[in-house]
Amino acid sequence: MNSIQPFQSESINKLKLWLTNMSAKGHTKFYEIFVDTIRVVQKTDNIDYFDEYETWVDENTRSMRIHVYNTQASHRSQVFEYRTSLLQSELSKDDLLRIAEKKTDELLKRISDAEEYIQKLESENDAAKTEKSGFDLDTILSYAGPLLKQNPQLLGNLGLSSFFGGPNEKSEIQSQESEVTFKRKSESVINGSFAKPEVLERLTNMDKCLNEEQRSQLLKLVDFFTGNPEYIKTVFEMVTNEDKKLAA
C-alpha cells in the first residue's frame, strides 16, 4: 500500500516514531529512504540513520520516499511518499494540461458529430425533394434537351421565347398563331401580369404541339420546378443556350 502526503517534517517524524515503537515492541521493521531518485539511506533496521535524509533535501527537491519492509530479505514494501510544493506545482500544471487536452478532444468530437448530422439532414432533405417530385436535376435536363430539339416550335407556340431573350424566328415563320401567342405573352410579361386567358392559350398551344408523352413530361417539369424553384436558373440557362443554337 502506498501513501502520498505533502512534504512536512511533522509527518515524516511521525513515521520515524512509528518505526521506533515497532522496534521497541519486538516488531522491528527495515526501511530505506530515497530523495528524488537517489537512495540516501540503505535498507536497515537502525533508526539512527533515519535523519540522514535531511542532508540531501534542498529547495530543488521534489519528493522523498521511505520504503518499509517487514524483513531484511523481503522485496515487498509499504511506500510512504512525501511531495514538496515544487512537485505539487508541476503535477498541477500537468493535470491542467490533461484536462485542457481532454476538453479539446471532446469539443472536436462534438464538432465532428455536428458536421455529420448536418450532412445527414442535407442528404435527407435532398432525398425528400427527389421523392416528392419524382425527378432530380439530371432527369429534368434529359427531358428538356431532347424535347426542345424535337419540337423547336415550343419556344414560340408556348410563349417561352419571351423568357429566354426574345422571340424565336423559326417558330414565327412556322406558325402565325405562334407569333400572336408570343406577342400577347410578351406584352403580358412586360406589364408584369399573367392573365388567365393567356394561361388558357398556352395550354391550348401545348395541347396542339405536343403528343401525350411530351405533355406528361412537360407537366412533370412544371411540378418539379414548383417544388424545387432553386433549379429554375440552371435549366433556364440550358434552355437559353439551346434557343440560341436553334436560332442560329
Print burial letters for 59-80: b (CB count within 10 Å at least 16), e (below 16).
Answer: eebbbbbbbbbeeeeeeebeeb
Q: Where are the domains of the chain?
A: 2-88, 132-247
Residues in the chain: 248
What is the structure's pLDDT at 71? 93
Q: What is the CA 61 to chain-centroid distance, rounded?
A: 47
Class of domain 2-88: alpha beta
Q: Which residues of 167-196 are buried (b: 16+ CB within 10 A; e: fewer)?
A: bbeebbeebeebbebbebbbebeeeeeeee
What integer pLDDT is reported at residue 237 of this predicted model?
Answer: 79
Q: What's the pLDDT at 204?
A: 72
Q: How many Å separate Cα 145 from the centre of its chain? A: 39
Element (H, E) at 174: helix 169-174
Give CA–CA dist 179/1, Å, rounded: 102
How many Å apart are CA 175 and CA 153, to the nearest integer? 8
State how beta strands 2-6 and 78-83 pair. Answer: parallel
pTM of the model: 0.37
Query: CA-to-CA distance for 147 and 214, rounded, in angstroms?
Result: 7
Q: How far is CA 48 from the centre of its chain?
A: 66
57, three cell numbers: 533535501
User: Residues in the chain with pLDDT < 50?
Assistant: 158-159, 161-175, 178-195
- Looking at residue 80, its pLDDT comes to 95
